[in-house]
Amino acid sequence: MKYLFDLFKSYAATLLQVTITLGVIVVFAYWAFIINFYPTGITISESLLFVFAAMMFGIFYTLWYSLALGAVHGLFHWRSGKIKFDGGLFLLGVASALVLGIAALASHNVKVLAPLLGAMILLIIPWYWNPLPLYTPVARVQEHLRLKILIVTTAIILPMIFVPDLTANIISNSMQRLGFRQMDVSVSLDLTNQNIVKSVVDELDLTLHTCGNNGHPEQVVHHVNVLWHGMGERTLIEMPFLTNSNGSPYQFELNRSGVNVVRRPGDKAGIPLCFTLGNDLLFESLASTLTPEGTSALTAFSAKVKSYLEESKRQVVAITVTGHTDRNPVLASNDSNQQLSRRRAESVVEQLKTLGAAFPIDIKAAGSQKPISSCARDLPKSELRECLAMDRRVQIVIQTKTLL
């Protein structure tokens, strides 16, 4: 026992240095190559982060590599002249190979099998590497040892080089397990961060993915990917529903102190998908029949929802469509803002049904009762109409839950 303790003391400092170095590489690779973001404000005292990052990455990578090692060694150990056939070892190889095969089929990616190459190289040493004669010169022994270390190192890092995309996935999963990366969550934003998001959304004429409220329409945003949060001065979030023409989601760098992540209990509670479409896009003034542009917008919306549900493995449990109008009264006889908002909601529902919405849809008419604008009444008529545009909207709320 004392010998083991002394051995640990001798190599503990080196082991810690190697671990921290690996952690620095893992975290830097995540920042530089995966999310292209540096949070700033990471201090030396937070170097414990690098230790945990190295350990988590090491656990995932070791499990993946061990399966390949078990498969190759178990299935082919009898090919070595030093090892006799072992039935139990062979069954272990079959089981490991099956797990790797199932993983490759499930992910539709044969790159999952990449560690097999490294395992084959690594097993050359115990299978075929013969010990040197007793009185071999020291220089020859040292050269022999260096070559062995080179082969082992090459065998271990080879899968990382051959399949950088899977290595990136392991790094991302490590960050997720450590809590720095959180996918498909809700975030609460302070006023400063609300203004950052709102300015970008308004500038690019995008629709923010939130149910909102009158006072702070962007206070809580649902279904956000938090790519970095918890250390440093900055937080990076990604909104999958805000995408450019190429389908790439927009990312926002926010002040970390003003971002709070809202976690769902076991991911069982459905957080609503909230999507608001302006009536200026869907309808002509005071009309309730969808324009061609409105039909195209709803078609694109349905495609986005379908894609999101497939990727996040969620299913729809309820849909609510609510029509809204601005505060200007409908002057036609036997008509009202309430009735106009309902007709517009009904038109959207009919279009959603033609696009394959198979769930009962609840229709609500809010009229002008829930404005989100704050327009002065003395504005010129043209400016007032533009200011009130955000109140002329149809809100679609889709309640989802995880697939069982």
| 221-273 pLDDT tens trace | 877 899 999 888 999 999 877 777 677 888 999 999 899 988 766 555 556 67
In this predicted structure, which of 28-32, 167-171, 183-187, 254-258 has the lowest mean pLDDT? Answer: 183-187
| 5 pLDDT tier (thresholds 50, 70, 90) | low
CA–CA dist 370, 399 (Å, integer): 21
Out of 133-142, 193-202, 339-348, pick the least confident: 193-202
pLDDT band per the 50, 70, 90 thresholds, residue 12 = low
pLDDT, greater one: 277 or 117: 117
Q: End-to-end distance of the chain based on CA atoms, in angstroms?
A: 50
Q: Say whether 262 sits in a helix, a strand or coil.
A: strand
Q: 293, 362, 360: which is closest to 322 by C-alpha?
A: 362
- What average pLDDT does this structure show over 98-109? 89
> Which residues does 357 contact at the CB level (< 8 Å), separation at least 6?
302, 319
At 249 the pLDDT is 84
Confidence of residue 84 (pLDDT cuts 50, 70, 90): confident
Confidence of residue 9 (pLDDT cuts 50, 70, 90): low
Over residues 140-146, mean pLDDT:
88
**Helix spans in 115-232 (H):** 115-122, 124-128, 138-162, 164-177, 191-203
Average the pLDDT over 113-138 and give the result.
Answer: 86
Sequence-distant contacts of 88-95: CB under 8 A, at least 24 apart: 95/70
Share of the chain above pLDDT 70, in %: 86
Q: Decide if 52 contacts 23 (C-beta within 8 A).
A: yes
* Of 193 and 262, more confident: 193
pLDDT value, residue 36: 92
pLDDT at 214: 46
Instruction: Kindly state the average pLDDT of the residues 288-295.
Output: 79
Cα separation, 283 vs 278, whole angstroms: 9
In angstroms, the CA 29 to CA 47 distance is 16
SS3 call for 121: helix
The secondary element (H helix, E strand) that includes residue 130 is none
Residue partners of 119: CB distance under 8 A and separation at least 6: 65, 68, 69, 71, 72, 73, 155
Q: Whole-number mean pLDDT of the chain?
A: 81
Task: Please tell me the predicted confidence (pLDDT) of residue 229.
Answer: 92
Residue that the structure tokens 């909207």 belong to:
393
**Residue 185's pLDDT band (boundaries 50, 70, 90)?**
confident
pLDDT digits (tens, 9 = 90+) for 323-332: 888 887 877 7
Q: What is the mean pLDDT of residues 315-319?
A: 80
Mean pLDDT of 192-211: 73
Segment 382-389 shows an average pLDDT of 76
Give the whole-angstrom CA distance, residue 281 versus residue 271: 27
CB-based contacts of 227, cutoff 8 Å, min separation 6: 35, 37, 181, 236, 237, 238, 251
Domain ranges of the chain: 2-176, 181-263, 266-404
pLDDT at 68: 93
**pLDDT at residue 267 in the model:** 52
Answer yes or no: are the C-beta atoms of 234 and 259 closer than 8 Å.
no
Cβ atoms of residues 389 and 346 within 8 Å = no
Dihedral over Cα of 296, 402, 58, 79: its sign: negative
Sequence-separated (6 or more) residues with CB below 8 Å from residue 154: 121
246-253 CB contacts, 8 Å cutoff, 24+ apart: 249/225, 250/200, 250/204, 250/206, 251/37, 251/227, 252/196, 252/197, 252/200, 253/37
**CATH number among 3.30.1330.60, 3.40.50.2000, 1.10.1280.10, 3.40.50.300, domain 266-404:** 3.30.1330.60
Give residue-wise pLDDT tens across range 342-369.
888 888 888 887 766 667 788 888 888 8
Cβ contact 391:375 at 8 Å: no
Residue 357 confidence (pLDDT): 64
Place of tokens 């030396």: 44
Mean pLDDT of 104-114: 86
User: How many C-beta atoms surround the C-beta of residue 229 within 10 A?
Assistant: 22
